Structure 1
């Protein structure tokens, strides 16, 4: 079973995975924490690791801050390969309600050129504070759909928004169209508490499935799922988490959270996610195979 953590900053700590197959290898982008020792320009950054088998990962590098937009931090990447290039959608961090989604492109998966129009998207309307984090994208019916987490105007309730752009566009700011005038999914069930975040998309039998983290970190966060025929209107597949946190004493007893759905070249689908058992003092990334039974995602537990 996969357990990966980044120890480069003196902690066992990696969050927010996103995985692609590119250049004959798997690449994983993930969030690396600050040093938290008072040094200037400290903040979250994005790390890159590689693998040949989806289980054993070796860190390659940290991505540099591209512009002043990332000065306070950048993290929670979403990644996709389109037309032979890696497209990275990531959030700025440390700016409160002003955090937004940025876009960068790479020919080798390591060196990225940021979009000159960054940030490319944040939601608007009286229902949202305007913040956008936790980006994920998926092609569907000729468009690239961008899912993000935002908050209500009081910055208390985390919920989801969606935009889309033509699949043959450059995904710069002017290409995105907000597809809702309200949240597409917000916390309603007791276990979701005040948070639905980290949308993670995959397609199965012509429908879109959206995995999400319900409840804030370590409350505990657990993973739910919803399904859609049109990319905008969503229905939960269950009132319970499809991937709960672990039993007491297990590696993920404090949470199973922040999923990313990955479809491998052989067609198998995998859910990457984060977890820990110490209330967030450490974070590991792991992976489970997604099995489908009667249109529902299933996982072997524990």
Structure 2
């Protein structure tokens, strides 16, 4: 499919389907004070948006998120998982402005779990292929406007090769630290049972393509599940810096187990220690909007240093998904959940 055809299809989908907006899990507007800021009913007719990644680009805030697959789109085009694009002026009210659809052959079965990062005057998006089991890998695209993306011709750009990993790579997160670029990823053991984190490095944007990454986790995982609440899964690393240290927000346990969010800290962006043996952000109590999970974090630091944690949640065991925002304060050098 040509880029022009894909872009026409994006426009058709954006205007034919309902625009993404804030939802409670029952489809109604969230109650005043709710942390929910966004979901998208354009695919399934019910709230369903996952895996938030937020950046500031060209004077606005942009959120990239995973959209579920559907049997067919306009003109019979089959749609697997894809990536939604929403825009905001205040980090609270979001409007859907586009979709990034599978385009390359490697993306045929779907794409999702975006990780956005602004480098220079372009927005770089790292994301995973979907539906290929152990063969899923990380892809890369760039944008000048936040909506339209040019694919890296060398996609997929990364998959791990260490014997401890099955070779799969998902949940990409690009992070710059002291002039070096780090690509964090989740993978599984050779039996596809345990999800763990790894990291690779690159010299810069000119080396973001295939062959430009050095896997620092070839001999073993960066972080693996060890605590009871982490179950058999650690995934979705999202990072920020504070006072010369690197903080990693991560998801522990598989979806709806429940998945909850933890935090680890590092002096070098490679070796991490957990801040606590308890979740930083647990799932909610019975009857709450996120009783099934609080998962897949996406940390965002604004120009004034304000820190926000975007995350997914639901109370339906995964039949619906909404995205929420938590303000984060820093006390004694550590992040703490804060009231809005």
Give the TM-score normalised by the residue count of structure 2. 0.86
The offset of 1:3, in angstroms, is 2.6
- 1:8 is the counterpart of 2:42: yes
- What is the match of residue 97 of structure 2? 60
Which residue does the alignment assign to 1:219? 257
1:199 corresponds to 2:237 = yes
Distance 1:63 1:168, change over 3 A: closer
Match of 2:208 among 168, 171, 184: 171
Q: Is 1:25 the counterpart of 2:60 in the alignment?
A: yes
Residue 132 (1) aligns with residue 169 (2):
yes
In structure 2, the CA distance between the partners of 1:37 and 1:86, relative to structure 1 (3 Å rule), is closer
- The 4+ residue runs of structure 1 with deviation greater than 6 A are 37-40
Matches within 5 A, 1:176-255: 176-180=213-217, 181-255=219-293
Q: CA deviation at 1:301?
A: 6.7
Per-residue Cα deviation, 1:55-84 (whole angstroms, up to 9, x for no partner): 111111111223111110000000001111
2:191 match: secondary structure:
coil
User: Contact 2:70–2:78 (CA<8 Å) still a contact in 1?
Assistant: no
Structure 1 equivalent of residue 188 of structure 2: 151
Write the distance in 2 (CA, Å) between the matches of 1:85 and 1:44.
24
> Aligned equivalents of 1:124 and 1:290: distance in 2?
36
**Are 1:294 and 2:332 an aligned pair?**
yes
Deviation at 1:142, TM superposition (A): 1.1
User: What is aligned with 1:105?
Assistant: 142
Conserved? CA contact 1:41–1:72, under 8 Å: no
**Greater helix percent: which structure?**
2
RMSD: 1.5
In structure 2, how many angstroms separate the alpha carbons of the residues matched to 1:179 and 1:125?
10
**What SS class does the counterpart of residue 197 from structure 1 fall into?**
strand
Structure 2: distance between partners of 1:293 and 1:257: 23
**Are 1:141 and 2:178 matched, yes or no?**
yes
Normalization by structure 1: what TM-score?
A: 0.97
Q: Distance in 2 between matches of 1:67 and 1:37?
A: 18
Higher radius of gyration, 1 or 2? 2
Unaligned runs of 5+ in 1: none
* Partner Cα distance (1:40, 1:50) in 2: 26
What are the Cα deviations for residues 153-197 of structure 1, in whole angstroms up to 9, with x where unaligned? 000000000001013534111211101221010000000010001
Shift of 1:36: 5.2
Answering whether residue 312 of structure 2 is matched by residue 274 of structure 1, we say yes
Contact 1:211 1:259 in 2 (8 A): yes
1:264 aligns to 2:271 (yes or no) = no
Structure 2's unaligned 5+ residue stretches are: 1-34
Partners of 2:133 and 2:184 in 1: CA distance: 19
